[in-house]
Amino acid sequence: MSKTERRIFLLDFEKPLYELQARINQIRQLAEENDVDVSEQISQLQTRAEQLRKEIFSSLTPSQRLQLARHPRRPSTLDYIQAMTDEWFELHGDRGGYDDPALVGGVARLNGRPVVILGHQKGRDTKDNVARNFGMAAPGGYRKALRLMEHANQFNMPILTFIDTPGAWAGVEAEKLGQGEAIAYNLRQMFSFDVPIISTVIGEGGSGGALGIGVGDQLLMLEHSVYTVATPEACAAILWKDAKKSEQAAVALKITAPDLKNLGIIDHIVPEPSGAAHADPLEAASLLKQALIAHLEDLSQMSPQQRRQLRYQKFRHIGIFEEAYA
């Protein structure tokens, strides 16, 4: 892999696209230097590039979608907040002594409407990821999230949560501080709130760490995000004692947005730009903003009691199955 490829971080299945685009740029540059008209050839190559992009991204395996969900250049919670909101004021701390950088939140205006937004926050590089604990929130993070959601409920502001974590922090210290209790308490309290709640999986939604801010009236997923009870690597290690079988586990777990929509786990798939969200973050934010505004409008027409009942029935029906007898 070249220095350029390392810098822009290409996934294996993205390399043919990168090479074709590099060829187009090279031809264009040579044509300009030699004052030659190659507009027709460039147009043909651009058409081919777009066809190739559609072919690649329309036939991704679950494992490849997982790679996209973990892409270091994929837009994060703070990226979407900055691109979508009119105003944003971050709030810090759980008022118990800790401000978890892996879970951020605050008040904002979305399309002129006051909302509370919170979500997991990963880093852009190794240093930033270490500081953010790779988006794995500690108990203080979930308590901070609950504090902000209670604030939203008190002042009648909708709650928007962005899920992007491999799971809650699983360290010994987290258990000492009550990780399980913090997540469980969030689950209970989120079912009781009167205001609209929309949760969106923007990248990797893993285990209870995702569910800790994922109880909502509507659950959305970006097209190339994933949502799962355990990472494919962990699943493979548990079932087959071999983490190398993660691709097989990714298929079995049904982690992709289309699979989860078919199973009735999620409510809506938010399309991503051609080439996935990292290819055009601003367009990705625009598409997500449109979806959030539309769903907020629908939920705002309901009474608090109707929303609570919708929330309850949504989770009550997850996991229902029918047995067929010969």
Digit-coded pLDDT (tens) for 112-155: 999 999 999 999 889 999 999 999 999 999 999 999 999 999 99
Same domain for 75 and 220: yes
Same domain for 80 and 52: no
Other Cβ atoms within 10 Å of 161 Cβ, number: 29
The answer to whether the CB of 244 falls within 8 A of the CB of 261 is: no
Same domain for 295 and 186: yes
Same domain for 31 and 94: no
Same domain for 192 and 232: yes
Q: Does residue 284 sit within a domain?
A: yes
Same domain for 306 and 283: yes
pLDDT score at 7: 53
Helices (DSSP H) in the chain: which residue ranges?
3-8, 15-33, 39-57, 62-69, 77-84, 126-131, 139-154, 172-176, 179-192, 207-211, 232-239, 246-253, 257-262, 281-300, 304-316
Q: Does residue 2 sit within a domain?
A: no
pLDDT score at 113: 96
Q: Does residue 321 sit within a domain?
A: no
pTM of the entire predicted model: 0.89
d(CA 300, CA 141): 28
Positions of the chain with pLDDT lower than 50, given as ranges = 1-6
Q: Among residues 212, 215, 176, which one has the least CA distance to residue 192?
A: 215
Same domain for 86 and 48: no
pLDDT score at 6: 40
d(CA 60, CA 58): 6
Domain encompassing residue 51: 8-59
Same domain for 46 and 95: no
Which of 59, 79, 95 marks a domain boundary? 59
Which of 42, 59, 76 marks a domain boundary? 59
pLDDT score at 283: 97
Which of 26, 43, 59 marks a domain boundary? 59
d(CA 5, CA 70): 17
Sorted by sequence, the CB contacts under 8 Å of residue 318 that are 6+ apart come out as 264, 265
Q: Does residue 118 sit within a domain?
A: yes
- Compute CA 294 distance to the chain's CA centroid, rounded to the nearest angstrom: 19
pLDDT score at 17: 82
The domain that contains 283 carries what CATH number? 3.90.226.10
Number of structural domains the chain divides into: 2
Same domain for 230 and 152: yes
Q: Does residue 324 sit within a domain?
A: no
pLDDT score at 5: 40
pLDDT score at 44: 83
Digit-coded pLDDT (tens) for 192-216: 999 999 999 999 999 899 999 999 9
